């Protein structure tokens, strides 16, 4: 894998580099790849645009399919299984992504995955029967598995090493900011205009995202092509070696952030998958809660990315976990006694809890992915991205399946309480990442 280097200037942006690829006095050609355009390049901008547009087809559909399944007669377990099957095929695909990326997949994985995710989406509108919904969800999960891993890797590969924290933060904005409108907007569109319209529009978004991602190869005069190839990298920038290279196996180095990602993603999946069902008669509250959650995730992830690049430490990992626990506790309190018409107190708890949880979850997202990338090192970005995304999506899928079963057995309040307790038990794991072991020295 080729990774070009760029010397950091005092303000954290790439300094001017000498021209590369030119012949020297001996008549030989310098094969050093050209300096990456970085955060200000058109290639990175296309990645952000492709992510923001393409993942609208993921975010909007995620709460819609369980709601559509429940209207078709499926219980909570059946509704949750639509998310679980989607995430199962997502995770199975992600397991193969490091192998695919190392064999040329950096260029085509995102656009092809976006098409696989988007083209089948309108098929949801044909029936609300659980079997076909599960089949379409399984196909779409393959596409999302490709997009999720490729997008995270490209965010790191398209920029110099000293910009990785900010790059993952901006990538988090692209993932999360559209959800502020799309999560509640998709539900509102389906309930007020029709599910068929919602499914067609969200499928089109994913297809458009794939088209935008294909343009990364051609942007910036071809200077991004080295990052999209899978040949040997140039030497990494100076700095402490990642944990994985110091004799500790890579998976062990990634274990703690992986567990944190699994549990917080399970809780997020609970909110996104099930919140609309007990609150369906208060559509304004569902929309407001999902919007508050999505906006808070964006704020938490962006803030964590900025602070990580500035201090080279995972400063918000522990506060993020505490916030996630507090937010889930508030949502649990609201759902414990929710009725057909939620009162003012219930509404406030749902809105506040969703926002607080989202803020913590956003911070945990960025801190865990940055820790994993740093510990794996540049040569291990593909594996680190796959592990992080597997944690995210396996957590979301398992959370939806398990919580659906718990809801049928115990009700919404007790089921959400189990999620909050599991989060609380994992908080000590966040202490290990605050020292930022394996992080690179500043430029």
Q: Read off the DSSP letter of residue 14.
A: B
Percent of the chain past pLDDT 70, that is, above it, reads 81
The pLDDT assigned to 433 comes to 58
The pLDDT assigned to 434 comes to 53
Whether residue 439 is predicted with pLDDT greater than 90 in this model: the reply is: no
Describe the chain by its helix, strand, coil percentages, rounded to 5: 75, 0, 25
pTM of the complete model beyond 0.85: no
Q: What are phi and psi of 9, to 5 degrees?
A: -90, 180
Other residues' Cβ atoms within 10 Å of the Cβ of residue 315 = 19
Domain extents for the chain?
Answer: 38-231, 249-434
Lowest mean pLDDT among 64-73, 133-142, 159-168, 329-338: 159-168
Lowest mean pLDDT among 214-228, 307-321, 374-388: 214-228
Other residues' Cβ atoms within 10 Å of the Cβ of residue 7 = 13
Mean pLDDT on 310-335: 88
Superfamily, domain 38-231: MFS general substrate transporter like domains (1.20.1250.20)
The pLDDT assigned to 34 comes to 62
Q: What are phi and psi of 246, to 5 degrees?
A: -95, 25
CATH number for 249-434: choose from 3.40.190.10, 3.40.50.800, 3.40.50.970, 1.20.1250.20.
Answer: 1.20.1250.20
**Cβ(383)–Cβ(298) under 8 Å?**
no
Q: What are phi and psi of 8, to 5 degrees?
A: -75, 140
Mean pLDDT on 243-265: 75
Task: Identify the three-state secondary structure at position 29.
Answer: strand
Q: Which residue has the higher pLDDT, 296 or 183?
A: 296
The pLDDT assigned to 100 comes to 84
Lowest mean pLDDT among 6-10, 88-92, 245-249: 6-10
Report the phi/psi class of residue 185: left, alpha or beta, with left for phi > 0 and alpha for psi in -120 to 50.
alpha
Whether residue 101 is predicted with pLDDT greater than 60 in this model: the reply is: yes
Lowest mean pLDDT among 148-162, 186-200, 273-287: 273-287
Mean pLDDT on 189-198: 88
Q: Which residue has the higher pLDDT, 439 or 49?
A: 49
Mean pLDDT on 11-19: 38
Residue 315 to residue 28: CA distance in whole angstroms: 47
Lowest mean pLDDT among 104-118, 212-226, 244-258, 352-366: 244-258
Q: Tell me whether the CATH fold assigned to 38-231 matches the one assigned to 249-434.
A: yes
**Cβ(89)–Cβ(138) under 8 Å?**
yes
């Amino acid at each position: 894998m080729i990774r070009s280097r760029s010397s950091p200037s005092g303000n954290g942006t790439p300094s001017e580099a000498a021209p590369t690829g030119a012949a020297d006095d001996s008549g030989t050609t310098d094969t050093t790849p050209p300096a990456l355009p970085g955060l200000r390049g058109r290639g990175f901008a296309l990645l952000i645009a492709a992510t923001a547009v393409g993942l609208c087809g993921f975010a909007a559909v995620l709460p819609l399919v369980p709601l559509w399944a429940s209207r078709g007669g499926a219980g909570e377990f059946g509704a949750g299984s639509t998310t679980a099957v989607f995430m199962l095929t997502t995770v199975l695909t992600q397991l193969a992504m490091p192998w695919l990326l190392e064999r040329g997949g950096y260029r085509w994985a995102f656009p092809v995955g976006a098409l696989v995710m988007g083209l089948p989406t309108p098929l949801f509108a044909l029936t609300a029967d659980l079997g076909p919904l599960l089949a379409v969800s399984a196909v779409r999960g393959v596409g999302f598995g490709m997009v999720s891993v490729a997008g995270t890797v490209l965010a790191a590969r398209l920029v110099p090493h000293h910009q990785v924290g900010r790059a993952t933060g901006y990538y988090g904005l692209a993932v999360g900011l559209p959800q502020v409108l799309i999560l509640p907007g998709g539900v509102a569109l389906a309930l007020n205009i029709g599910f068929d319209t919602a499914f067609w529009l969200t499928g089109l978004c994913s297809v458009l995202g794939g088209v935008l991602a294909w343009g990364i190869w051609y942007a910036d005069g071809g200077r991004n092509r080295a990052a999209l190839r899978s040949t040997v990298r140039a030497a990494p920038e100076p700095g402490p070696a990642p944990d994985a290279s110091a004799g500790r196996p890579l998976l062990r180095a990634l274990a703690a952030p992986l567990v944190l990602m699994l549990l917080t993603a399970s809780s997020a999946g609970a909110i996104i998958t099930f919140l609309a069902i007990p609150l369906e008669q208060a559509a304004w509250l569902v929309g407001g809660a999902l919007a508050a959650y999505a906006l808070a995730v964006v704020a938490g992830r962006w803030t964590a990315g900025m602070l990580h690049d500035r201090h080279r430490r995972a400063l918000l990992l522990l506060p993020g976990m505490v916030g996630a626990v507090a937010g889930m506790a508030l949502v649990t309190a609201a759902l414990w006694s929710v009725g057909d018409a939620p009162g003012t107190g219930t509404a406030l708890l749902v809105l506040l809890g969703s926002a607080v949880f989202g803020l913590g979850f956003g911070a945990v997202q960025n801190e865990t992915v940055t820790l994993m990338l740093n510990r794996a090192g540049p040569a291990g970005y593909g594996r680190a991205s796959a592990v992080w995304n597997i944690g995210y999506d396996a957590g979301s899928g398992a959370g939806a399946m398990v919580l659906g079963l718990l809801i049928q057995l115990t009700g919404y309040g007790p089921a959400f309480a189990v999620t909050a307790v599991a989060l609380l038990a994992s908080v000590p794991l966040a202490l290990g990442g605050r020292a930022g072991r394996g992080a690179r020295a500043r430029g």
